[in-house]
Structure formats: C-alpha cells, structure tokens
Structure 1
Amino acid sequence: MKKRLAKSDFMMAYMIIITLACTIGGFFFGAFYMKTEIESAQAAALEAEQREAEKEQMLKEHKLYNEQDFVRFHYAVLAPVRELQNAHFGTIDMWADLDAKGQEEALKELEKAAKETLKLLEKDVLLPTSPLLVQAHSNFTEGVRTYLARMEQVRTAQNSNALSVQEVASHFASPGENWAKAQEELYLSLANWEASYVTRQAIPQEAPETVTIAQWKQYPFHYRTYLSAVSMTREGQWTAFYPEDLATRIDNLLASSDAATIGVQDISGAVRLLYATDAIQPGDFTHLRKKIHPELKAPEIPIYN
C-alpha cells in the first residue's frame, strides 16, 4: 500500500504551488506593467514629436508669433511691467537722499504701483498664435505677486529700523523665478519670430550651457537677446537694464579689441566682465543700435523703436 502524504507534506506542496503561481503571476504582471510604461513613453514621445512638427509647420506657414500678438503683449503686459521695474530702480537710485518719511512714502508709492500693475496683468490677453507669450504673461503676473510679498517684508523691516539702500536692494535682489522665466519666454518668442519671418532658419529652443564667441556671432540678434536673458537669470540679479542692453554691450565688446586683449574666451566670460565693470546701463540698446545694428529687423513695438 502507498503511504498517504502527511499534512505537513500537503502544506509544503500547496506552498510550492502558491509560490510558483505568485512568481508566474508576478512575472506576467511585471511584463504587462513594463509594456504599458513603454507604450506610454512611446506615445508621449510621439505626441511631442507631432507637436514639434506642427509647430515647425505653423512657423513655415507664418501662423505662429504673429506681430499683432507682440503689440497686444507689449501694451497689456510688458509696458506695465517695465513701468513698475523703472519705478523700482528709480526709487533705489534716490533712496539715500530721502529722509525716513520720504522713504516710507516711496515704498507706499511702489506698493501702490505694484498693485495697479497686478490688476492690469490679471486681465485676459488674446495671444492666439504665441504660446510663449501666454506663458510669459502668466509668469510676469506671478513675478509681480512675489514683488508685492517682498514689499510687505521691506515695509515691516523699515518700520522697525531705517533700511540702507543696500538692504532695500537685497530684499529685491530677484523678483523670483517667475519674473526671470517670463523674460526668457518673451525673448525666445522674439527669436522664434525672427527665425520665421526674417532669417527663415531654425534655432535651438533650449539655451546651450556654454556659447563660444564664434557661435555668438553666428546667432541672429533676437536669439542673442534670448541668450542674454538666460545669462541674467543665471547671474541671479535683478537689474535696471534689459536683455537687449546686455546683448548690445556684448556685441560692442566683441567688436573691439578689448575682448581679445583681456582674454575673453566665451560669452559667460564676457558677461562676467561686463557685470564686474558695471559696463551695462539701461538704454544701451537704444544708444548703440545705429552703430552696431543699423539694419535690425524687429516687431513694431516700442522697445525697438
């Protein structure tokens, strides 16, 4: 007679069967999961490629970055933002000459201006052909909100003890990542306009980590202003000048023998030199345009006229 299996043997057999079932099930589940993940990644990559292809096609057909969008953006977004920026740096310039009451009044005026600017930016702006300008509008709005939050901190600190110009400036060293990002998006949109309507040549949509002098000279002007905006973000300082001022100063430096004499190797070195020597001033683009870029083509908006 065959010996019946003991209960422990049955349990062992069941455990082996269950373990095998779990292993096989886990294998197929893992394979299914991996297949789903791979298919999702492939679908996302394909969708991104299709979007980029559609964008390229629209650029070729002149359906993106219509000049009217830049005009709307300028008056609805850029003009009030720059007015606030100019008022801010005007206050910084005269801060040391004000008494305590004058300083308090200046901060009140800046806060009032920021609130009025925010109210304007919170309005809808029709920018149907310019996705980067839509993003820039949103980021400038967040940047002004950040400015207002820091203004509240400054006014609280000022009530306790009069702040020096350096202390006030340090509170506003940067109006936040949103403001810097908005500036980059604005100038990349201008570079896309230039690529579509002027040079008819594609441009990189991501700024390279390093730019040689030779590369810089090959890029069209508006792409150089975009690279300048990126450089300003990397410097982490909020300034009274704008990317077109920095780009023009870089061009002016490279057109002279100074860059070679000093040993400037790339654009990062040129930017550091210009910052260190305080060589960039608001309005440099306007003052040097006829000398350096007399034939510049740009959208018909006030910052270029």
Structure 2
Amino acid sequence: MEKRLTTTAMLFSVGFVFMLVCSVGAFFYGIQIGTEKTEAKYEKEDVGSKQASASVSPYQQQDLVSFYHTVFLSYREFQNEWFSAMNKLSQGKTNEATSMFKDLASLAGDKAHEASSVNMQSSPLLGEAQVSYIRSLNLFEEASNKAATQAKTLSFNELKKKIDQEKNYLSASQFALSAQQAYYAAMLKWAATVDLDIPSDYKSPALLELTQWKKLTITIKNKIMADQLLTRKKLTHYYPQDLTSRVDEFVESGQAAKMKVHTVTAVVDLLINTEAVRSGDFIESKSRLYENTLLPQLPFFTSETNL
C-alpha cells in the first residue's frame, strides 16, 4: 500500500513537472510569436513609409513655381536692368554711366539676397540652379562696381568693350546660363513624373537630326535649347522656349528643307547669327504649335511677360 502511494506520488510529480515545462515553453513560444509579428508589422510600416517617401519626387510643380517666384524672378529682374543699361551704353544715350552702374551693383546685391531667401536644396537641380544664380548676381555686382569706376575715364564705346571682356562679367554670364540649364533640366524631371513616356533626362547627340527633333516633346526641346545657349555662352533676353519655337517654325515652314539644313545645331546657328529670336516668340506660336502639350504652370509659359 505504501509502495503504491509512492509510485502514484512520483507519477503525479512527473506529470506536474511535465505540465510546468509545457506551460513555460508555451509562454515563451507565445512571446516569440508575438515579437515576430510586432517586428513584421513595424518592418512593413517602415518599408511602406520608405516607398511612400520614394514615390514623392523632389521635382513637383510647386517646387518649380516656388523657384520661379523666389529665385528666378530675382535674377531675371536684374538681368533686364543690365540689358537695358548695356543697350543705353551702346547707343550713347546716357551721360551718367557711373551712377547707372552703381545702381546696378546695388540691385545685384539686393537680388542675390532675395534669391537666398528660400532653401531649394531638397531638389538637387533647383538647388544647383539657385546657387549658380546667386553666384551670378554676386559677380554682376563686382562687374558693375568696376564699370562704375571705369566709366569716369572711358568713352561709351571703350567702356562697353571693357565690360564685354571683363572676367567677372564673363563668369557671371556663365553661371547664369548654367543655372538656366539646371532649371530646365528640373522641368524635364518633373515632366517624367507626370508622363512615364518622357525620360527624366536627355543628352542630345553631337548631331541631332531634324527628323529626330520633330519627335521630341516640348520639355525635351526646351532643355536642349538651354544646353545650346550654355554651350555657346550666349546670355540672351529671350528664353529657351522662344528659341524652341523658332526652330519648330523654321522646320514646319519648310525653310529648313529649302535651305538643305538637316541638324538642330545648324538651325540654331542660323537663327542666333541672324538675330531671328525674340522674347515672346513662344507665346505667339503656342496655340498653333503647342496646343495641349505638357508644361509646368509657370508664367513664362502661359502669358506675355516682360520678365
């Protein structure tokens, strides 16, 4: 009787220990499963967050518009005054060249400050363009101060020649053209997010045939024209889209075929050398040549502007 009780007690003890081990095992197994599920949940949320962030392009229309109003217009307002002053100088219509260039120097400094008022560095190309425009304005300020001093002793013609060859002016022009090229490259990246058939970048071949040109979208053409102006170191009052429209008109009118011109570069050379491009050419031909084309809603694409 006593032996049976001992055996029973032993079996009971073993069973108890077994149940205890199973319970502890189940507890830790439950913790592991819960942990894995929690980690999987947060990992999924993290991936979703990264994908959502990746899907937001740094080249939204609002970025292009913000750049236009805070950076581009600041530079453009100065450029217009510069061109006006140089035109007066070449025509000998000013007897106060010194004060005129002092005013330009002051204006360049003010506009450089305005162009620095917003941070565009979240959009790489726009950030690059902003820095280049600011550098351009700073160099224009130096060129203007130097011209103001030289104006005291030089004639109009001599002063104009000096300015055209002055290193600060040449560097200022180059930075402005680089900024313009970056801005139009950013517009192309924006277009690629709206229409997946448009490439986010386009590098023109050395010889771009007009047959290929005709197949390109307006945003690609504008970027090519910005490239062309940068390559030529040609600072102009007109926009790249004005040059685009004149090339398209030249091709559409049959003049290119008549003159046996086959490449974009040859047409651009002809148009620039004959001074056949004017600011506003794009707006004048927009309804005829570019109806329903994809362009960001920027003032110089939508209406007549003196800027």
TM-score range, shorter chain: 0.7 to 0.9
Q: What displacement does 1:59 show?
A: 11
Q: Residues 109-151 of structure 1, C-alpha deviation per residue, up to 9 Å, x if partnerless?
A: 22221111111122232463x2211111111111112212222
Distance in 1, matches of 2:170 and 2:293, equals 32
In structure 2, the residue matched to 1:206 is 203
Q: How far apart, in 1, do the equivalents of 2:240 and 2:171 lie?
A: 15
1:100 alignment counterpart: 95
Counterpart for residue 186 of structure 1: 183
1:162: Cα distance to partner? 2.2
- Is 2:76 the counterpart of 1:82? yes
Q: How far apart, in 2, do the equivalents of 1:59 and 1:220 lie?
A: 28
Which letter maps to 1:242? Y
2:111 alignment partner AA: T
Q: What's the CA shift string for 1:81-136, capped at 9, x where partnerless? A: 111111111222233242322x22322222221111111122232463x2211111
Q: In structure 2, what is the equivalent of residue 137 of structure 1? A: 130
Gaps of 5+ in 2: 1-50, 303-307
Name the CA distance, whole Å, in 2 between partners of 1:202 and 1:222: 10
Match of 1:73 in 2: 67
Distance 2:125 2:252 in 1: 32
Match of 1:119 among 113, 118, 134: 113
Structure showing greater Rg: 2
Checking the alignment, whether the CA contact within 8 Å between 1:59 and 1:196 is kept in structure 2 is no
The aligned counterpart of 1:303 is: 300
Cα distance change on mapping 1:142 and 1:80 into 2, 3 Å: same
Distance 1:292 1:248 in 2: 8
- Which of residues 228, 232, 248 in structure 2 aligns to 1:231? 228
Deviations 1:161-188 (A, max 9, x none): 1222852455446634322211111001
2:214 counterpart SS class: helix
Report if the CA contact (8 A) 1:173-1:238 is conserved.
Answer: no
Task: Give the structure 1 partner of residue 141 of structure 2.
Answer: 148
Task: State whether residues 132 and 175 of structure 2, in contact with CA within 8 Å, keep that contact through their aligned partners in structure 1.
Answer: yes
Residue 47 of structure 1 corresponds to which residue in structure 2?
none
Opposite residue 136 of structure 1, the aligned amino acid is: A
1:258-269 map, 5 Å: 258-269=255-266
Larger deviation, residues 284-293 vs 200-209: 200-209
Instruction: Please tell me whether the aligned partners of residues 188 and 220 of structure 2 are also in contact (alpha carbons under 8 angstroms).
Output: yes
Partners of 1:250 and 1:271 within 8 A in 2: yes
Measured after TM superposition, the shift of residue 200 of structure 1 is 3.3
Please say which of residues 140-149 and 193-202 is displaced more in the overlay. 193-202
Deviation at 1:203, TM superposition (A): 4.5
Say if 1:72 and 1:127, in contact at 8 Å, map to a contact too: no
Q: Look up the equivalent residue of 1:156 and give its one-letter code.
A: T
1:245 is the counterpart of 2:262: no
Structure 1 unpaired stretches of 5+: 1-56
For residue 247 of structure 1, report the CA deviation from its aligned partner. 0.9
When the two structures are superposed, what TM-score results if normalisation uses the length of structure 1?
0.74
Do the aligned partners of residues 253 and 202 (structure 1) sit closer, same or farther apart at CA in structure 2, a change above 3 Å counting? same
Alpha-carbon RMSD across the aligned residues, in angstroms, is 2.3
Does structure 1 retain, via aligned residues, the 8 Å contact 2:140–2:172?
A: yes
| TM-score for the superposition, normalised by structure 2 | 0.73
Q: For residues 276 and 179 of structure 1, do their structure 2 counterparts lie closer, same or farther at Cα, with a shift above 3 Å needed?
A: same
Q: Say how many residue pairs are matched.
A: 247
CA distance in 1: counterparts of 2:52 and 2:205, whole angstroms: 25
